[in-house]
Amino acid sequence: MCGMPQQPPVRSSAPRLSRPDASMSLLTNVMDHSLDDGYAEAAARKQAEGDGGLPKTLRAKLGLAAGLVLAALVVTVGAANARIAAPVVAKERQELIDRIERESSTADKLEKNVDTLRSDVSARQREALKKTGGGQADLVSILSGATDVHGPGVKLVVNDAKEASTGGDGTNPRETSGFSDTGRVRDRDMQRVVNGLWESGAEAVSVNGQRLTALSAIRAAGDAILVDNKPLVPPYTVLAVGDGQRLSTRFQDSADGLYLHALQENYGIRTSISAEDDVRLSAAPSVIVRTAEPSTEKGTS
């Protein structure tokens, strides 16, 4: 007789639960001993040696407070010193202003004295020319600029261009560094104008009221044009005594007149010339010859 077949053991599909005691003890150990044993030992040793003292945060706060107190003390002392020095600085400034005003007043008085002495020198020179110049005394005084003159002549006005331009490629002398602004009148332009008027027959010339003589110089100082060391500003009014219409025509046909016309055409420099019935020129402030001496010998070898 056959026995009944044995059934295989049945396996449960539910997961097997682990023991909670081991995991909980591990978390408890981590929380209770967050610092490594080495760190804990070092902290204990430092505490035992007395280096712990106050907590670091408190020491830092005390240091910051001390620094703020020191900074406030420095600012307070600086403000007090500035308040004390302010009246002294104001006093020195006022003294400097007063000194400048005194020196300016003294300079004005000296300038007036110089003008008076120049007038006296010019009068003495004219008297000397009359005594030694013979029949040509008046002509010599006119040509030397030692006396006032008036008569027919021309009025030439030279002015900068309305809109001065800059630039240059080096092929034109007016477009180099010395002539960075091609629309401005330069000292060499005025030199050519004045020399052209002399060559065209002018007997006396002035620029913006400055009478020109044989000792006069036209030069530049920066962007300013100087005539006998006096700065002039545009427009430049040139007055010349001579045969008005003839002088105007000869100048415009000369090389210097054509040069001025070229400046007008190429760079926009404004010019105008007209014949005048009566042109008046003042005498030069002084004509002093520093090196030449008159010859007293009647004959020469």
pLDDT per residue over 45-104, tens digit each?
A: 766 655 544 455 777 778 888 888 888 888 888 887 777 777 777 888 888 988 998 899
Alpha carbon distance 208, 236 (integer Å): 6
Least confident range from 22-31, 142-151, 193-202: namely 22-31
Task: Determine the pLDDT at residue 63.
Answer: 81
Task: Determine the pLDDT at residue 283.
Answer: 78
State both tokens at 264. 């007008």
Top-confidence residue, 266 or 138: 266
Least confident range from 98-102, 145-149, 166-170, 179-183: namely 166-170
Task: Determine the pLDDT at residue 10.
Answer: 44
Task: Determine the pLDDT at residue 38.
Answer: 63
Task: Determine the pLDDT at residue 148.
Answer: 80
Cis peptide before 235 (omega within 30 of 0): yes
Interaxial angle between packed helices 244-253 and 255-267, expressed in degrees from 0 to 180 and rounded to the nearest 10: 70
Helix/strand/coil for 173: helix
Contact 247, 200 (CB under 8 A): yes
Binned at pLDDT 50, 70 and 90, residue 33 comes out as low
Which burial class, exposed, middle or buried, applies to 247 when counting CB atoms under 10 A from its CB (0-12, 13-18, 19+)? buried
Rounded average pLDDT over 218-226: 86
Does the structure show a pLDDT above 90 at 246?
yes
Task: Determine the pLDDT at residue 78.
Answer: 81
Q: Name the most confidently modeled range: 101-115, 120-134, 143-157, 282-296.
A: 101-115
Task: Determine the pLDDT at residue 229.
Answer: 84
Rounded average pLDDT over 16-21: 49
Q: pLDDT of 251-280, one tens digit each?
A: 999 999 999 999 999 988 999 999 999 999
Task: Determine the pLDDT at residue 178.
Answer: 47
Share of the chain above pLDDT 70, in %: 65
Task: Determine the pLDDT at residue 167.
Answer: 43
Top-confidence residue, 277 or 129: 277
Distances 276 to 163, 258, 279, 280, 286 between C-alpha atoms, Å: 30, 21, 6, 10, 27
Q: pLDDT of 272-290, one tens digit each?
A: 999 999 999 887 776 665 6
The residue to which tokens 């000792």 are assigned: 215
HEC string for 189-226 = HHHHHHHHHHHCCCCEEEECCEECCCCCCEEEECCEEE
In the predicted model, what is the mean pLDDT of the chain?
A: 76
Closest Cα partner for 126 from 144, 143, 141? Answer: 141
Alpha carbon distance 279, 299 (integer Å): 41
Q: Which helix (H) or strand (E) holds 279?
A: strand 270-281
Does the structure show a pLDDT above 70 at 136?
no
What strand order describes the sheet that includes 224-227? 218-221, 224-227, 230-232
- Count of H helices and E strands in the chain? 7, 8
State both tokens at 186. 């330069």
Least confident range from 150-154, 191-195, 218-222: namely 218-222
Does the structure show a pLDDT above 60 at 22?
no
Task: Determine the pLDDT at residue 30.
Answer: 58
* Phi, psi (rounded to 5 degrees) for 69: -65, -40
